[in-house]
Amino acid sequence: MLGLCMVLVLAPAGLLLIFANFTHLHSYDDATLHRDPVVASLLDGEQLVPPAALPPAVFITPEAGADRTELATASREWMLLDPDFRQRLLLVFRALERHGYRMVLLEGYRSPERQQMLAQLGPHVTNAKAFQSYHQFGLAADSAFYRSGRLVISEKDPWAMEGYRLYGEYAESFGLVWGGRWQMRDFGHVELRRGRS
């Protein structure tokens, strides 16, 4: 009986928390994302084609293992990303290529089950539980660089750091939020803050 009372007392608070997270994910105004006419025309223009997938072995290098948990099993399926977000990210990739950086998608869509699993690994991996990450809605991606047949993720590599800086700059110019500005920096992460389409 006491157990049931606890459930009845705590349930509304729990619902409120879930609702608060949900509204947080959907509180951004679409209009602000299309202010710049150049950006707007790029977004509405030619839809860019995602790059060909790299061999799975690329993602199980020692560097990938050291920096990224469970990278080998992450989804890199561009078609599971929101089309608007996909176009913005491809525009960022194209811009970086002009600077000599070939970018690679490390992880895009993430199932709620996988998010929960990553959250259980601890805050050094992610603070977001299921449905608290834009990855779940195909509105976030983690990227790194590809150089001489290898992934370059390390923030200790000055070449990569310059790449991340450019990546953040272009991502923001295309209306994305860049994880490199967060307190818990996530240089490879970008997300589009709007509701599911």
What does the block give as tokens for 173? Answer: 């110019």
- By C-beta, is 82 or 142 nearer to Zn ion? 142
Cα separation, 168 vs 176, whole angstroms: 9
Go through 117-144 and write b for each residue having 16 or more CB atoms within 10 A of its CB, e for each that does not.
bbbeeeeeebebebebbbbbbbbbbbbb
Q: Would you give the binding string for Zn ion spanning residues 111-150, x where CB under 5 A is met?
A: -------------------------------x--------
Which is closer to Zn ion, CB of 101 or CB of 187?
187
CB of 142 to Zn ion, least distance (A): 4
Q: Tell me whether residue 175 or residue 180 sits nearer to Zn ion (CB atom).
A: 180
The token pair that represents 63 in the structure block: 């560097």
- 42 or 104: CB nearest Zn ion: 104
189 is a site residue for Zn ion (CB under 5 A): yes
Instruction: Report the nearest approach of Zn ion to the CB of residue 33 (Å).
Output: 19
Residue 83 CB, shortest distance to Zn ion, in Å, is: 19
Shortest Cβ distance from residue 16 to Zn ion (Å)? 26
Q: Report which secondary-structure segment, H or E, holds 163.
A: helix 158-173
User: The tokens of 52 are what?
Assistant: 């060909």
Q: Quick one: tokens of 42?
A: 């790029």
The residues pairing with 105 across neighbouring beta strands, listed in sequence order, are: 143
Residues contributing to the site for Zn ion (CB under 5 A): 142, 189
